[in-house]
Amino acid sequence: VDAYTAHHEELFSFLCSATRDRDVAEDLLQDLFLRLIRQERSGRLPDAVRPWLYRVASNLVIDRGRRLASGRRWLERLVSPESAEPADAQLLRREQASTVELALEHVSPEARVALLMSGHGFSGEEIAAAIGRSHNATRSLMSRARVTVRQHLGAEGAAP
C-alpha cells in the first residue's frame, strides 16, 4: 500500500502517456501493482521499488505492442458502425492530449517509453536497463526519437 500511495499517480500518468489509452493504462496499472504484490508475498520485494515499477511498466507497455498482444489489441480497436465512437468524441478525446503527447504517437512504443521515463527523471543508463537494450542502442533509439518528435512538433506549429 505504501508503494501504491507513493507511486501510483506518476505511474498512471506515465502509462496514460505511453499507451494513449486511459482504459489500457488502468489495466496495466492494476497488473503492475498485482505483480508487485506477488513479489512482496513471495519474499522478493525489490530493494528499489520505483525503478522496478518503471521497469515492469515499461515491459508491459512494450510487450503489449509486440506480436502476442497484437491480435487482441487491434481487435479492441476495430469498431463496427453500430458501436463506433462518434467522430466528434474522437476529436474531443484527441484534443485532450497535449501537443507533445500527440507528437509522441509518431515513435515506437519502446521509444515513447524511453522518452517518458526520461521525463520522469531516469537517466539514459537506467532507461537502457529498463527496456533491455544496450547503452548504444538506447542512445540511438532515444536521440532519433527526440528528433522525430521535434519534427512533428515543428510540423504542427507547436514548438515552444
Partner 1 sequence: VNDHERILLLAAAAIDFPLALAETDELEAHLRSCTDCRSAAARLRGDAAQIASLPRRRLSDEVERRIVEAARGARPTGFRPSLVLIAAALLLAATLIGAAVAGALLLRTRELPFSLVPPSARVTAVPTSVAPTPTSTAAPSPTRPPGETWQVVTGTPSMSDLVAGGPGWVGVGGGAWTSSDGRTWTPATVDGSDSAMTAVAAGPGGYVAIGENHPTDAQGSGQIWFSADGLDWQIVGSGPAFELGPCIEGCPSMIDVAGGPKGFVAFGYRTGGATVAWFSSDGQRWETLPARTFEVAGSAVSPSGIAAGPSGFVIAGSIGSPGSDGAAFWLSPDGRIWTHTGPDRTTKPIERPFAVVAGGPGFVAVGDCWDGDKICGATAWTSPDGAAWTQRTIDASELPAFAGAAASDGDRVVAFSDAGTAVWTSDDGLTWTRHEVDAAPVSVQAAAGGDRGFIAIGLDETETVYSAWLSP
Q: Which residues inside 51-80 make contact with partner 1, applying CB under 8 A? A: 52, 55-56, 59-60, 63, 65-68, 70-80
Q: Which of 86, 88, 157, 160 binds partner 1 (CB under 8 A)?
A: 160
Q: Which of 6, 89, 143, 156 binds partner 1 (CB under 8 A)?
A: 143
| 49 interacts with partner 1 by CB under 8 A | no
Phi and psi of 63, rounded to 5°?
Answer: -60, -35
| 113 interacts with partner 1 by CB under 8 A | no
Among positions 83-112, residues that touch partner 1 (CB under 8 A) are: 83, 98, 100-101, 103-111
Amino acid, res. 23: D
Q: How many CB atoms lie within 10 A of CB 25?
A: 21
Distance CA 94, CA 77 (A): 15
| 50 interacts with partner 1 by CB under 8 A | no
| 4 interacts with partner 1 by CB under 8 A | yes
The owner of cell 462518434 is 86
Q: Which of 6, 85, 144, 156 binds partner 1 (CB under 8 A)?
A: 144
Query: Which of 4, 32, 36 minimizes the C-alpha distance to 18?
Result: 32
Q: Residue 91 CA to chain centroid, in angstroms?
A: 21
| 141 interacts with partner 1 by CB under 8 A | yes
Q: Is 15 exposed, middle or buried (0-12, 13-18, 19+ CB in 10 A)?
A: buried
Fill in the per-residue mask, 19 to 38: x = in contact with partner 1 (CB under 8 A), - = not in contact: xxxxx-xxxxxxx-xxx-xx
